Structure 1
Amino acid sequence: MAKITTLLFDFDGTLLDTNELIIQTFQTVLDDHYPGKFTRAHILPFLGPPLIESFTRVDPAKTDELIQAYRSWNLANHDRLSKEFDGVNETLKELKKRGMKMAVVSTKRNNMLWKGLDLLAIGELFDTVIGLDDVTAPKPDPEPILLALERLGSTPEESIMIGDNSHDILGGKNAGVRTAGVAWSIKGEAFMRELEPDYILHHISDLLRITTETDR
């Protein structure tokens, strides 16, 4: 098994806990347009895919209007409802110290992605950041992951895609990289295991062990 040199991270739900932000944003927008129709359970599948995909499923005729309403409320409440998952800052700094090449590969627009990176003060730890604006096809298409590998000068064999959703694991598999699902996914550890990632992380610090083991 090749030594792991490269870590590709999803952002929302993996490094930054925006679960409540996203759910409340969807709930607010959908309640405004379709009162009483969407519950929290209806909203959970919307966490992960690009907004255009989620809102097209809701109402193709109003997709643009719904996206604009979502972005406005989300921006206004971003810092209040977002927080770091336990151990993220400390672990990323240690991985960087160990010489890991690291990237963020997200389905989020770049400006909001950087807002979150700045909130956690971790932007400088990443060698490249891939957002929705950088690609034509988001995860689970392999394009954003392959773009990250190209920028990093890494091969799929030496890389892991880490995320909290099906788009991350399927995208990683489509790109030929190893995959790690996070047990702190809002959809639950059982959901992540069903996707059959190579690793399940119970805490982000598990990456310190995994990357050390593949170095033997």
Structure 2
Amino acid sequence: MDAVIVDLDGTMVDTLDDFVVALNLMLADLPALSSARVDRDTVAQTIGKGSEHLIKSVLAHVTQSEAAVNLSAGEVLALFEPAWQSYQRHYLTINGQHAEVFPGVVEGLTQLKARGLKLACLTNKPTEFAVALLKAKGLDGFFEQTFGGDAFARKKPDPLPLLKTCEALGSAPHRTLMIGDSSNDALAARAAGCPVWLVTYGYNHGEPIRAVDADGFTDSLLSLMPV
């Protein structure tokens, strides 16, 4: 390998509680849903496909599951824009405050850098949030490039973000390892022609991670030695 592309949420940083806090603050701002709340289990099954998907999924969940909520499909759709604005504002404020770096991440990244590999962070989280989170957790110095879900025309699981990241790193896809925590990462890597390893502790939309088509699995970035 010449380079490694690393996912962020669920791979390097446990951000689940950041999402839960920001989403519940968002719901509290919406008069029609001010009493609704989402829990960790619900959010864990919806993160990973970008903020737009996350917000739409949460709005759909609470309007379908809350007995007191009686909104038409059009009314739910109309909630997206104020929900988006609220979520962006709250997430920017709390980004990283309820998040923890997974054990072994710093040591694993240090090990990869020591081997002369070029590293990039590629996430579906908005780039602004990703850069701020990496800096807050002391991880920004490991990466030559950081790209979020708004950096390219399409998000993972489309292969475009991986191909563009390989291009930015100056590495061929078949010599660039993708490390992630979900089927999104694996599907994108397969389509781009990148080898892919998945961590076993991430989110993966509530599905068993070892059922995903990948080249390998690891319980810690520290024990990742396929390169």
The normalised TM-score by structure 1 is 0.86
Q: Stretches of 4+ moved more than 6 A in 1?
A: none
Q: Cα offset for 1:190?
A: 6.3
Aligned residues: 207
Amino acid of the residue matched to residue 77 of structure 2?
A: P
Question: Which structure's CA Rg is the greater one?
Answer: 2
Deviation per CA, 1:4-49: give whole Å up to 9, x if none: 2221111111111211111232234235543347554433322101
Look up the match of 2:170. 153
Partners of 1:23 and 1:44 within 8 A in 2: no
Matched ranges for 1:124-203 at <5 A? 124-187=141-204, 191-203=208-220
Spell out the pairing of 1:104-119 with structure 2 (5 A cutoff): 104-119=121-136
Partner of 2:43: 43
Q: Following superposition of structure 1 onto structure 2, how do residues 58-73 of structure 1 map, counting pairs within 5 Å? A: 58=60, 59-73=76-90
What is the letter of the counterpart of residue 210 of structure 1?
P
Shift, 1:96, TM fit: 0.6
Distance 1:140 1:71, change over 3 A: same
Please tell me whether residue 29 in structure 1 is matched to residue 11 in structure 2: no
Give the equivalent residue in structure 2 for 1:214: none
C-alpha root-mean-square deviation of aligned residues, in Å?
Answer: 2.1
Partner residue, 2:70: none
SS at match of 1:205: helix
- Aligned-pair identity (%): 26
Which residue of 1 is the match for residue 13 of structure 2?
16
2:52 is aligned with what amino acid?
I
Decide whether the 8 Å contact of 1:21 with 1:81 is kept in 2.
yes
Deviation string for 1:39-78 (max 9, x for gaps)? 5443332210111123334343222211221122222222
| Alignment partners' CA distance in 2, 1:188 and 1:136 | 23
Partner of residue 77 from structure 1, selected from 68, 77, 94: 94
Q: Which amino acid letter does the alignment assign opposite residue 180 of structure 1?
A: W
In the TM superposition, residue 90 of structure 1 has moved relative to its aligned partner by 2.1
Please, which runs of 5 or more residues in structure 2 have no aligned partner? 61-75
Determine helix, strand or coil for the equivalent of 2:146: strand
Gaps of 5+ in 1: 212-216
Q: Which amino acid aligns with 1:171?
A: A
